Every structure is written in C-alpha cells, then in structure tokens.
C-alpha cells in the first residue's frame, strides 16, 4: 500500500489519543477537552470529555467571524417547485438566529428534544442548526414515513416541539404533511406543546391556535425584523447533538445518539481527507436530511468545513428528466457529488447512453461518491465511463455517522477494485470474525466487526437505551462493535461488503426492517403468519416481498386481502417502504424447529441456485413459494 494513507493509519493505530487530539484542533472550543478519550465514561468510553463547544457556532458563526460572511453556504435548488436561492454564511446566521429565538420563546432550552418533519427546504436546515445553537437535541424524521412511525419517534424522544412543513413535493403530487403530524400527535402519548408549521404555497393549511399550531415563517420573520440575538449555548462535547432513528430488527426504531464534539472532529477530518474538499468548494449530496447521509454531508460536514453545500429537492429522474443532476452540477459548479448507487441506476435506466450529459459543462466535478448500499460493479463502470472522474464507493452506517471504509481522496487515491469500498479509515480497525468471534483469514467471508472503542463521530448509545445498544451491537463479539454486515478483506487489505447478517434490507438506499414490515402484515385480521424478504430489484437494489398465510376459515378474495395489507404497510410505515408485492401461501417454509426459511425464499425469488435445507419441515412449502412467484405480481395504485 502506498505511503500517505499507511502513514496516517499507522499514526492513528500507534497513538489514537494523540491522533484525534490533534484533529480536534480544527474545532473551536469554548473550553478545550480535559481528556481526549475517557474509557470509563459512557458505554464504551467517550471522546473529548470536559470540552465545551457549540456545533452551530462551528458551522456558521466562526466562518462569519473569519470574514467569510458573504461566501455562499447553502445553495437551495428545487426541481419540484423551480425555486432556487443562495444563502451566504451571513444569511444562514440571520435565519438560524431567528429560528433559535422562536424556539427559545416557546420555552425550548438545552437538552429539550425537537422533532423536525420537513422536506428538503432551507428552513429544515435552519431548524437543525437553531436547535444546535441553543443546545436542544433535534430528531429529523424522513417525510416518507407514516404517522405511526412519526408517533413512535415523538414518544421515544419525548419531543417538546415539532417543526413541520405543510407538505412535501413528490413527482406529480404534494404530500400533505400536516394531517400526518396531527395523526401522529393523536397516536402518541407525548403531546408537544407547539407545532411550528412552514406553510408552502403548494398546499397551505389551516392552523389551529388551540392546538399550539403556529406559522413558522411569520414567527421567524418577526424575529428577523427585531434582529434578535441568540448566543450559541455552550454544550459539552459529550452532550447529544441529535437523535436519528433507524431501522432495527423489530418494529421499534433505534435512536442513534450523536454527540457534539466527536461528531465535529470526525466530520471535519472526513471532509478534507476522504472527500478532498476545502473551504470554498461546492459539495452536493443528493440524499435527504431525513437520513444520516443528509445529516453528515448535506448539513454538518460541509458547513463545519466552510464548504458550500447544495440542498436539492427533487429526484434523479422524472424531475423533469434524467439530466437534472447534470443541470445542477453545471449551474452551481459542483466539485464533489455524493449519492446512492440507486440514483445512478435510475439515471442509467432512463438515459442509458448518457445523452443528457452532452452539452453540459461538468468540468468542475472532481469526484463522485457512492454509499448507502452495495455499489454494483456495473453501475460503477457506467458512471466512470460517463463522467470520466474517480467514482468512489464508501461503506458506512447510520450508527457510524461517517465512512468506515473508503478510498481517501484527500490523502491518496487507491486503485479501484470494483465491488470494494477500499480501505478502513483511521479510527476503524475492521476485522472479519466467524460466528464465534474468532478472526478469520484474509479472503474468507465472515462478520465485519470494528474493534472498540469506536472513533469520534460514531454513535455513543441508543437514546435512553444503553442496554439495547450493548445487546444489539456489542455483545455478539466482545471487544467489538458488530456492524451486522458480512464481508471479507483481501490480501491487499481491501474490504468487500457483501450483505447484511440481520433482517435489514436496503431499498433505494433506504434501510428497512423486514421484521417491522412483518409486524404490520401480521396485524391484518385475516393474516395468521407471514414472512417478508428483500428481493433483488434492478433500480432499488432490493424491494420487500410479502408471503402471507391466511387464518383458517378466511374465504375473502385473496387480491382484496393483499390490497389491504399493502395499504396497511403504506399507512403504518409509509410509502418509503415501497411495499407493493405480496403472495398468499397455504403454509410458510420452516425448519423443524419452526424457523422461517427466509434465506431460501429470497434465493428462489431472486432466481438463484438453492439447495433444499436439511432441516426443512415440509419440502412442499418451497414449491409453494416458487408457484406463488409465478402468479402475476399485485401492485397497489392506491395513494
Ligand atoms: N415525503 C413523502 N413521500 C416520499 C418522500 C418524502 N420525502 N420520499 C419518498 N416518498 C415516497 C415516494 O413518492 C414513493 O411513493 P409512491 O409509492 O407513491 O411512488 C415512495 O415514497 C418511495 O420513494 P423512493 O424510494 O424515493 O422511490 P421512487 O420510486 O420515488 O424513486 C429513486 C426511486 C431511485 C429515484 C429514488 O429512490 C432516489 O432518488 N434515490 C436516491 C437515493 C437516496 O436518496 N438515498 C438515500 C440514502 S443515501
Ligand atoms: P444506513 O444506516 O441506512 O446508512 O444503512 C447502512 C447499511 O447500508 C450498511 O450496514 C450496509 O448494509 C449498507 N451499505 C451502506 N454503504 C454501503 C456500501 N458502500 N457497500 C455495501 N453496503 C453498504
């Protein structure tokens, strides 16, 4: 391996405390940390103990103080509404301060939780930063989730205030968010004192003062007029910045807790060393602020590093066409683009020859980063040939907050091995373990695990659930964090990430729990039991298929029941689940001990070679699966 990366990685390995202590100099502290790492605190130790800082100050105020107030901070572009606006660091400071004043007036103080349920609009980013400014903890909920999912997050976080928009914009329709917020609050035990609603012109809603519903824009404008000043509240490096809920193996989402100090240190390190970005560059992460990718690389990473970030509302295709990405890159002179492989598969499907690229000046674009799901070599080849720039796959999770394995473009460029996100980043000692926790040899497939402690920026625990964090992530392999991904490391040290080892599936870069989907399907009164498996999809990577067994005596039409189950998933989990396909089976394939043979079912659905499991209870059940799959697939058109 060539030297620069090896030097840095070795430096970190030799002296992790010294290494991260030095990296922490890039953060502005009110009070520097007393200990870079304290192994006695938290679940596996805590970073930058005793340090006092403020993430909003580091993202905004310090750039203004350094004379960069007039530089662009956020470029907002909506392919849905046609809106476009550039906010300088000074503009962002004004907006964020006004939102912070509104929140303070509503009684939000340090440590209070604020749930943000908004589409990709600048006000969402201002709200996140405003929370950070006053030390409140935000929890952003992706707009594609249904009321029940929102309700479970409101309850878990015990949210004091909700900030929402009247609607999101999806191709061909405005998605009304306000009724979802209302329904969620009705369902939840937690009743936030106020609902701040951003009225979008595409769908204005009535606000009921008696329910604490307030007009976001009016209140913010009033504070802006008054030029209210809101100082950045000092928080401990170890205080939580945000909670981000992600799919676990049950219907109950896991609240990943990110702290202030470690998060800033890690993201700034990554912006420079992985993405090769410097102040003044333009970075565009085409994801959503509802996901970790959006938190880290639409909002916090670029702003911390003084890099301009593009906030894009739209899709890679259909808004209006597969050339939208190239329009945005050209228009804003984007230097680094980051998205999920699914976006490129969608573009390729609509524009296989890349005709929309011709005539566009994409000379600003230095690199394309992909993550969120396995980057299939075919898509990588296509993107490389189309753009003629390095296409960098990197592997990470909501839990880690930044890349575990990457090709560190700011350090040195490794030759690409398609199918591998390349090498572990400093902070991450990745091992491949067998199921008993024994390290495996190079080239052998096993459980990918990260030696503790996790580096700065990774989750510190699950929200108010230390034990669940220990049980889910730390107990399987003592001394390690279990990634729940399977993979291998080759002789050159390249890591290959192959599949999840749990029942999480990856649909269009979104993480779904088949367990959660099964819970919803099983709640239908006619369903006795069910199995949901992730089946290969040319665009989305995987989509969930439901196999349903009816209760004895149910004689209603099968297609009506399937329609109801599909609708139920949409209503309870949300459209993001992309659950449209289900089959009725007389019986599920199981082992003699009663374990559903989901793996074999998936292989059959994917048309892969499969063998009859020795422990199968009734071999005929697998024929039933094959036969069911040959029936026409049912697709719900209901919205
Ligand atoms: N609010 C409300 N509904 C939303 C939503 C939001 N913020 N985001 C998605 N939805 C809805 C969609 O309208 C769609 O509804 P439908 O079933 O009525 O069509 C459903 O949720 C699924 O959405 P999506 O996963 O986006 O699929 P799609 O078919 O609309 O688009 C892609 C497919 C590949 C173009 C799209 O998934 C995409 O752009 N992916 C980019 C990758 C990405 O952002 N990954 C995130 C992690 S990096
Ligand atoms: P999320 O928490 O939603 O970001 O999803 C994380 C999961 O997505 C990981 O555990 C992997 O299963 C998968 N994933 C993310 N990036 C990659 C990648 N580059 N290669 C393979 N799988 C990936």
**CB 93, CB 69: distance < 8 Å:** yes
Residues above pLDDT 90, as percent of the chain: 95
Determine the residue of 292, 508, 569 to mutate for testing ligand 1's pocket, defined as the one with the most ligand atoms within 8 A of the Cβ atom.
Answer: 508
C-alpha triplet 340, 469, 496: angle, nearest 5°? 40
The rounded distance, in Å, linking the Cα atoms of 356 and 333 is 17
DSSP 522-561: HTSTTEEEEEEEEEEETTTEEEEEEEEEEPTT--S-HHHH
Residue 637 has pLDDT above 50, yes or no: no
Which helix (H) or strand (E) segment holds residue 461: the answer is: strand 461-462
- Ligand 2 within 6 A of 292 CB? yes
Q: Which residues pair with 88 in a beta bridge?
A: 72
Determine the residue of 170, 289, 314, 638 to mutate for testing ligand 1's pocket, defined as the one with the most ligand atoms within 8 A of the Cβ atom.
Answer: 170
Which ligand 2 atom is the nearest neighbour of the CA of 421?
19
Residue 1 has pLDDT above 90, yes or no: no
First-residue to last-residue Cα distance in the chain: 53
Instruction: Provide the pLDDT confidence category of residue 308 given band limits of 50, 70 and 90.
Output: very high
Tell me the two tokens of residue 518: 């099964």
The rounded distance, in Å, linking the Cα atoms of 43 and 606 is 40
Residue 351 has pLDDT above 90, yes or no: yes
The rounded distance, in Å, linking the Cα atoms of 33 and 231 is 21
Ligand 1 centroid distance, CA of 538 (Å): 15
Residue 375 has pLDDT above 70, yes or no: yes
Mean pLDDT confidence for 598-611:
93
Query: What confidence score (pLDDT) does residue 247 get?
Result: 83
Q: Atom 20 of ligand 2 has which residue's CA nearest to it?
A: 374
Q: Looking at the domain that runs over 4-314+394-451, which CATH code has it been given? A: 3.40.50.12780
Separation in Å, CA 638 to CA 100, 241, 411, 575: 40, 38, 50, 11
Ligand 2 centroid distance, CA of 500 (Å): 9
Determine the residue of 247, 258, 373 to mutate for testing ligand 2's pocket, defined as the one with the most ligand atoms within 8 A of the Cβ atom.
Answer: 373
Query: What confidence score (pLDDT) does residue 252 get?
Result: 79
**Is residue 98 left, alpha or beta, with left meaning phi > 0 and alpha meaning psi from -120 to 50?**
alpha
**Is residue 111 left, alpha or beta, with left meaning phi > 0 and alpha meaning psi from -120 to 50?**
left
Residue 447 has pLDDT above 70, yes or no: yes
pLDDT tens per residue, range 56-94: 999 999 999 999 999 999 999 999 999 999 999 999 999
Name the superfamily (CATH) of residues 504-630: ANL, C-terminal domain (3.30.300.30)
Ligand 1 centroid distance, CA of 338 (Å): 17
**CB 49, CB 35: distance < 8 Å:** yes
**What are the strands, taking DSSP E only, across 326-445?**
336-339, 367-370, 391-393, 405-406, 423-424, 430-433
Residues above pLDDT 70, as percent of the chain: 98
**CB 47, CB 262: distance < 8 Å:** yes
In the numeric block, the tokens 């997050």 are attached to: 153
Residue 314 has pLDDT above 60, yes or no: yes
The rounded distance, in Å, linking the Cα atoms of 450 and 482 is 7
Q: Where are the alpha helices (DSSP H) in 142-286?
A: 147-157, 178-187, 216-226, 261-273
Q: Which residues pair with 581 in a beta bridge?
A: 545
**CB 222, CB 197: distance < 8 Å:** no
Instruction: Provide the pLDDT confidence category of residue 634 given band limits of 50, 70 and 90.
Output: low
Please report how many Cα atoms fall inside a 13 Å half-sphere around the Cα of residue 549, on the Cβ side: 14
Q: Decide: helix, strand or coil at residue 511.
A: strand
Residue 638 has pLDDT above 60, yes or no: no
Among 220, 212, 192, 216, which residue's Cα sits nearest to residue 204? 216
C-alpha triplet 580, 565, 149: angle, nearest 5°? 85
Query: What confidence score (pLDDT) does residue 478 get?
Result: 98
What order do you get walking across the sheet with 194-198 strand by strand?
213-215, 194-198, 161-165, 113-117, 137-140, 240-246, 254-259, 461-462
Which ligand 1 atom is the nearest neighbour of the CA of 173?
13
| Cβ atoms < 10 Å from Cβ of 550 | 19
**What are the strands, taking DSSP E only, across 202-358?**
213-215, 235-236, 240-246, 254-259, 282-285, 308-313, 336-339
Which ligand 2 atom is the nearest neighbour of the CA of 292?
4
pLDDT tens per residue, range 150-161: 999 999 999 999
Q: Atom 8 of ligand 1 has which residue's CA nearest to it?
A: 144
**CB 245, CB 252: distance < 8 Å:** no
- Torsion (CA) 93, 94, 99, 105 in degrees, nearest 10: 110
The rounded distance, in Å, linking the Cα atoms of 63 and 135 is 20
Mean pLDDT confidence for 585-610:
93
In the numeric block, the tokens 């106020």 are attached to: 194
Ligand 2 centroid distance, CA of 192 (Å): 33
Q: Atom 10 of ligand 2 has which residue's CA nearest to it?
A: 397
Ligand 2 centroid distance, CA of 372 (Å): 4
pLDDT tens per residue, range 118-164: 999 999 999 999 999 999 999 999 999 999 999 999 999 999 999 99
pLDDT tens per residue, range 203-239: 999 999 999 999 999 999 999 999 989 999 999 999 9
Q: Where are the alpha helices (DSSP H) in 492-535?
A: 514-522
What mean pLDDT value characterizes the chain? 95
In terms of DSSP bridges, do strands 405-406 and 423-424 run parallel, antiparallel, or are they unpaired?
A: antiparallel
- Torsion (CA) 556, 562, 564, 569 in degrees, nearest 10: 150
pLDDT tens per residue, range 234-276: 999 999 999 999 987 667 789 999 999 999 999 999 999 999 9
Q: What is the DSSP letter of 219?
A: H
The rounded distance, in Å, linking the Cα atoms of 226 and 217 is 14
Ranges for all domains in the chain classified under CATH 3.40.50.12780? 4-314+394-451
Query: What confidence score (pLDDT) does residue 360 get?
Result: 97
Q: Backbone phi, then psi, for 530, in 5-degree steps?
A: -160, 165
Residue 358 has pLDDT above 90, yes or no: yes
Mean pLDDT confidence for 586-606:
93
């Amino acid at each position: 391996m060539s030297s620069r990366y090896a030097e840095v990685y070795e430096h970190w390995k030799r002296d992790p405390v010294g290494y991260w202590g030095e990296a922490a100099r890039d953060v502005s502290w009110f009070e520097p940390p007393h200990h870079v790492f304290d192994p006695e605190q938290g679940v596996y130790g805590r970073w930058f103990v005793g340090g006092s800082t403020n993430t909003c100050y580091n993202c905004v105020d310090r750039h203004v103080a350094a004379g960069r107030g007039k530089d662009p901070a956020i470029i907002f572009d909506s392919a849905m509404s046609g809106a476009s606006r550039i906010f300088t660091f000074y503009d962002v400071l004004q907006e964020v301060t006004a939102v912070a004043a509104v929140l303070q007036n509503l009684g939000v103080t340090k440590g209070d939780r604020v749930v943000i349920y908004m589409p990709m609009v600048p006000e969402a980013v201002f709200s996140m930063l405003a929370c950070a400014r006053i030390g409140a903890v935000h929890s952003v909920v992706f707009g594609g989730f249904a009321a029940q999912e929102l309700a479970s997050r409101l309850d878990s976080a015990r949210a004091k205030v909700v900030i929402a928009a009247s609607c999101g914009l999806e191709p061909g329709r405005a998605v009304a968010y306000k009724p979802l917020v209302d329904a969620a609050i009705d369902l939840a035990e937690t009743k936030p004192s106020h609902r701040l609603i951003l009225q979008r012109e595409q769908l204005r809603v009535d606000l009921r003062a008696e329910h604490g519903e307030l007009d976001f824009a009016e209140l913010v404008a009033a504070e802006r007029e008054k030029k209210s000043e809101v100082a950045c509240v000092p928080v401990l490096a170890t205080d939580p910045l945000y909670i981000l809920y992600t799919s676990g193996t049950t219907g109950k989402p896991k609240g990943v807790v990110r702290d202030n100090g470690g998060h800033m240190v890690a993201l700034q390190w990554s912006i420079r060393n992985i993405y090769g970005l410097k102040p003044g560059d333009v970075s565009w992460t085409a994801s959503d602020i509802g996901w970790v990718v959006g938190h880290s690389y639409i909002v916090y990473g670029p702003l911390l590093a003084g890099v301009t970030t593009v906030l894009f509302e739209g899709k890679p295709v259909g808004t209006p066409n597969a050339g939208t990405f190239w329009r945005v890159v050209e228009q804003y002179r984007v230097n680094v683009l980051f998205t999920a492989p699914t976006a490129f598969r969608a573009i390729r499907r609509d524009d296989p020859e890349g005709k929309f690229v011709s005539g566009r000046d994409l000379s600003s674009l230095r690199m394309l980063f992909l993550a969120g799901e396995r980057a299939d070599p075919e898509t990588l080849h296509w993107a490389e040939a189309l753009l003629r720039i390095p296409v960098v796959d990197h592997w990470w999770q909501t839990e880690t907050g930044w890349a575990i394995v990457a090709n560190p473009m700011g350090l040195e460029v490794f030759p690409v091995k398609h199918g591998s996100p390349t090498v572990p980043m400093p902070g991450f000692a990745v091992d491949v373990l067998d199921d008993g926790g024994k390290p495996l040899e190079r080239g052998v497939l096993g459980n990918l695990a990260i030696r503790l402690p996790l580096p700065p920026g990774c989750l510190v625990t699950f929200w108010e659930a230390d034990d669940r964090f220990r049980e889910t992530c730390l107990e399987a392999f003592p001394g390690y964090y279990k990634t729940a991904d399977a993979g291998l490391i080759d002789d050159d040290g390249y890591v290959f990430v192959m599949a999840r080892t749990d029942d999480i599936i990856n649909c269009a870069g979104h993480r779904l729990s088949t367990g959660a989907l099964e819970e919803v399907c099983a709640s239908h009164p006619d369903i006795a039991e069910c199995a949901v498996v992730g089946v290969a999809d040319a665009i989305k990577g995987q989509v969930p298929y439901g196999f349903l067994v009816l209760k004895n005596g149910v004689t209603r039409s099968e297609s009506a029941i399937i329609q109801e189950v599909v609708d139920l998933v949409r209503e309870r989990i949300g459209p993001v689940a992309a659950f449209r396909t289900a089959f009725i089976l007389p019986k599920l394939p199981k082992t003699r001990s009663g374990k559903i043979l989901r793996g074999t079912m998936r292989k059959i659905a994917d048309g892969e070679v499969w063998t009859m499991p020795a422990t199968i209870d009734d071999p005929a059940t697998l024929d039933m699966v094959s036969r069911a799959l040959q029936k026409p697939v049912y697709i719900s058109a209901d919205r």
